[in-house]
Amino acid sequence: MAAKKAPVDSLPTTSANPMAEKIRAAMSGTVVSSKRMTVTVESKDAPTPATAPSHSATPTAKALASKRYSQARAAAVAGHGATPEPHATNAAAGHGGGDVHWTYEGETGPQAWGKLKPDFNLCAIGKRQSPINIEDGNTLQGPAEPVQFAYQPSNGTVVNNGHTIQVDVQGDNSITVRGSNYRLLQFHFHTPSEEQLNFKRFPMVAHLVHKNNEGQLAVVAVLLDEGASNPMIDKVWTYMPLDTGDRVRMPQGMLNVSELLPTDQRYYQFMGSLTTPPCSEGVLWMVMKQPVTLSKAQYKLFTQLYPNNARPVQPVNGRPVREAQ
């Protein structure tokens, strides 16, 4: 922004400029001779009222504006100050929503997500939303390619993001399905399970969020039923941060997400969306048919922080759901 500065007491005693006359009249008799007041006159590069026409910017002003634009663009490219990407947030980085406050109940609950922000409108009008109820009688039953899991001991950071407990994963972990390789970014938990099987909800579900080189997302949902203690969940809960926004690093190499997978890796597959704002569509979902277990104590610990963080099921709208046999 360019600016010209002129001391008030150097303005001409008479002027054809009404603004200068008003300034001088207002300051008459109040300006101490030993002090000077500076009036800033904005150039054309800055927004001005319609009633106050401005002159063209000086070359210096244009150069400054160009420099600031270049600096801002460079910062954006580098990722500084950028708005975090939503979950896969649920989006690629987990639960998102930016600076808009959303919840799982009340006035900012799921029924209102689509109205909280224009970017969230798919939460209300989308036709391929998640989660859904999966009915065996309505699925496409037959052979389906196995999901090739390539998980190994890795590093992880446990995050309390205000909507769930999430584990950001570092390391070479991926799945291969439909001829594409998807890298594991993070996994997080919902209670009760967001997905329903034949109208049944499970106590919890873990969502494993992956992303390929084209930016497409693939989520593996592992249902959690009450039973024996889960060693993988014990590792995560041990480093669970209690305060929103807090992060705790797990010991190096402790995290092996393959420990969370069921032995029977057949699945239901469908195209859906993120289950949190902005509810972006085009997400490949694979819901494991066989649940794994967690203990009552493990379940209680999570629900003391998040007693209900599940989006209600959404209309299927005629989408095909493949059931791998």
Catalytic residue numbers? 163
> CA-CA-CA-CA torsion for 177, 180, 186, 187, nearest 10 degrees?
-20
Return the H-helix or E-strand segment holding 57: none
Residue 50, classed as helix, strand or coil, is coil
Cα(97)–Cα(118) distance, integer angstroms? 11
Which amino acid belongs to residue 1?
M
Give how far Cα 120 sits from Cα of 105, 187, 247, 277, Å. Answer: 17, 22, 27, 6
Is residue 132 a contact partner of residue 285, using CB atoms and an 8 Å limit?
A: no
In the chain, at which residue ranges do the beta strands (DSSP E only) sit? Answer: 3-7, 38-42, 133-134, 140-142, 148-150, 155-160, 165-170, 174-177, 180-190, 196-197, 204-211, 217-226, 247-249, 267-273, 281-288, 292-294, 322-324
CB atoms within 10 A of CB 198: 9
Whether 139 and 269 have beta carbons less than 8 Å apart is answered as: no
